[in-house]
Chains A and B, each alone.
Chain A
Amino acid sequence: MRLAAPAKVLLQRFAFLFLILAAFGIMLLSKSETIVVEKVSTVVVDVFAPIMDVLSRPAAAANDAVKTVRGLADLRDENIRLARENERLLVWQEAARRLASQNQALQSLLDFKPSPNSQSIATRVIADSGGAFVRSIVVNAGDRDGVRKGQAAVSGAGLAGRVTTAGYRSARILLITDINSRVPVLIESSRDRAILSGDNSGMPRLTFLPANASIKAGDRVITSGHGGVFPPGLQIGQVVPSGDGIMRVKPNVSFDQLEFVRLVDFAAVSPIVPQGEPAVPPKNAASR
């Protein structure tokens, strides 16, 4: 297209203004029309998921190689440590067996309905947030694999986050450190309730703690199960007091090394299960 120079300049100015306004428009839209913007974003992430999957593999492989080399260096120490841990765990296993049988006996005594076994989906992390102000990841499983919004994302160490959007073959997980994350928690020893509020730092804050809460550094923090998104009792981390009187939690999960996460559907498990009704709706049976 050939245009006279002044017209071209005018067109460029117009395009610039229009695009800036469009950007602000999209920002506003994502605040008000959350669902529409979420849907479009999900489709875009889905389209790029296979490419990110491929691109993220070399980094993952390099990370594994580094880990292997490091592992070789302290193989002996690790062996000794594991042997000791094994001894200790055998004692715990004894205790667990005893408690399990006792628990079963007591449950039958009370006619207790146990929460149904939840199903989980193992997924690989294909994107983590490159933004300075976002703490979320994308995993390579979506709707077709049974991933649903609200599922808890856990790694071996504990709770990592929850699914906020699920596309066809990818899903975004909001980490517990993100500024938008709020998790109802319980201090394991004192049973004080609180809300774990992310603030984009590595250590989320404990908010809404009762005034008389007696918590101290090192106390373990678990999910309380209130609100029905997460099941009660998932490990999160340990209390770390920060200088300004705010209690923070150091998560067990190391988010930098998060390579695989398990997505577990607890949302369907309501905290109070009416007798005689299935706790999990049938749609869940289809998930793998």
Chain B
Amino acid sequence: MTPTLSHRLDAVARNVVPAALGVFFVLISSIPFYIPGFGPVAPNFVLMAVFFWAVHRIDLFTSVTVFFIGLLLDILVGAPPGINAAVLVLVRAIAASQGKVFRGKSFLVLWWGFGLVALASGLVIWILTAIYHLTLINPLPIIFQMTMTIAAFPFLAWIFARTHQKLFQHV
């Protein structure tokens, strides 16, 4: 293998990591954890992944990737297909347009921004689900879920930040 080819393969491998992480978190979101009451309020890992990577490496996380990750999430958890796809594409667009606000600032700023985005996506998911089923749905589960998601964000963001550093430190 020529050095240029291996170098190229290496770069490709690095570049697919964010998308692969997205798919991995979709799978993690769908497996059972056997913790009483955890299922419905489990943090939305995929939302965190999309937000983080859209702020830091928007080029590696295209709208199309995000769309398919959302669609996969919808299909695997059995949600109405399209809801998470729409929300994640929206979140990516917001995170991308506000990326400058967050990059290089303290983590609290990023967390605050994520909190707003998570609340907004919770609201959108709730409205879309209610319209889809044509009934008023109790919003409590999504409120809990988004609270858990916001609370878990620092932990996941730390993992993403380490991954980001390891992968792209010399790029």
Contact = CB atoms under 8 A, between A and B. Distances in A.
B47 to A, nearest CB: 11
Given A25-B82, A27-B83, A127 B72 contact: no
Contact of B133 (A12, A126, A172, A179): A179
Given A19-B67, A19-B85, A60-B34, A131 B77 contact: yes
A199 B136 CA distance: 10
B6 interface: no
Contact of B79 (A16, A131, A199): A131
Interface of B: 27-42, 44, 62-64, 67, 70-73, 75-83, 85-86, 89-90, 93, 125-126, 128-129, 132-133, 135, 137-138, 141-142, 144-145
Interface string A119-157: 000000111111111111110000000000000000000
Given A15-B63, A128-B32, A130-B29, A27 B132 contact: yes
Contacts of A59: 31-34
A82 interface: no
Interface string A57-77: 001101100000000000000
Interface range on chain A (Cβ under 8 Å from partner) = 35 or more
The 7 A-B pairs at the shortest CB distance, nearest first, are namely A23-B86, A27-B82, A130-B29, A26-B82, A63-B34, A132-B141, A136-B78
A133 B140 CA distance: 10
B86 A44 contact: no
Nearest to A63: B34
A219 interface: no
A128 B29 CA distance: 9
A208 interface: no
Contacts of A115: none
Interface of A: 12, 15-16, 19-20, 22-27, 30-31, 37, 40-41, 44-45, 48, 51-52, 55-56, 59-60, 62-63, 125-138, 172, 179-180, 199-201, 254-259
Do most interface residues of chain A lie in helix, strand or loop, or is the interface mixed? helix
Contacts of A63: 34
B90 A127 contact: no
Nearest to B92: A16
B78 A129 contact: yes
A59 to B, nearest CB: 5
Contacts of A15: 62-64
A51 to B, nearest CB: 6
A45 B76 contact: yes
Contacts of A27: 80-83, 86, 128, 132
A62 B145 CA distance: 23
A48 B86 contact: no
Contacts of B29: 130
A221 to B, nearest CB: 22
Contact of B89 (A23, A51, A172, A258): A23
Given A128-B39, A133-B125, 16 more contacts: A23-B89, A27-B86, A37-B81, A45-B75, A56-B32, A128-B31, A129-B78, A130-B39, A130-B44, A132-B125, A132-B144, A132-B145, A133-B126, A138-B78, A179-B137, A256-B38
